[in-house]
Amino acid sequence: MATVIALGSAPVFTGLLSWSTGGARPTARWTGATAAAVLGCTLLVLGPELTGHAMPADMTGIALAACAGLSYAVYSLIGGKLITSGHPSDSVMGVMFGAAGLLVLPLVLSTSTHWLATARGAAVALHLALFTVYLAYRLFGHGLRRTPASVATTLTLAEPAVAAVLGVTVLGERLPPASWCGLAVLVLGLVLLTAPVGAGRRGR
């Protein structure tokens, strides 16, 4: 549930914040595609719970997950504005993540870090640093140069879809029918968002 709230609220927050800070009003196409993507993401992630006994929701957890989505929206808007104003995307991403690293450093120092000295711990840390941060957000930064932040954050909803497909094909996991339906709706929303305007008319 926290994953759905954080991922699903980020595109909505981004569109509203962009509009309120002088950006273009959200289009009907973006609104429809985002609504479909968020609905699909919800069904995909919560599919197993929908078929069984759902855990009771905690309002504090829901509020914190929504704050995470809002934080991601603010970060995407700031990064997008800096990049489109002429700053190199790699530099913008580096400064933002470097500052974020400094902010969480006290938390790291207050916890046990002996696991980093193990081979598995070092491999996990290297994987997280290289693939989930450096490579992923370097590509995200390049995307923000050509794509509005509201669209970019909606496209990141493809993350749980890719994770679900990898889980089924690589790890042998099984998805309930509700999750498969959510995956289809999510893909439909992303296709609607990325399809060229007027493509259907040209095809006729």
Q: What is the pLDDT of residue 78?
A: 92
**Burial label, 169 (beta-carbon count in 10 A; 0-12, 13-18, 19+):** exposed
Q: What is the pLDDT of residue 30?
A: 87
- What residues does each domain of the chain span? 2-87+149-203
85 token code pair: 């104003």
Q: What is the pLDDT of residue 200?
A: 47
Q: What is the pLDDT of residue 203?
A: 45
Give the integer Cα–Cα distance in Å for 121 and 127: 10
Q: What is the mean pLDDT of each run of 10 residues along the chain (204 residues)?
A: 80 87 81 87 78 67 89 91 91 91 88 89 93 90 88 86 86 85 88 69 45
Give the integer Cα–Cα distance in Å for 189 and 154: 9
Helical spans, DSSP H, in 51-135: 59-84, 89-109, 119-127
**Residue 1 contacts residue 60 (beta carbons within 8 Å):** no
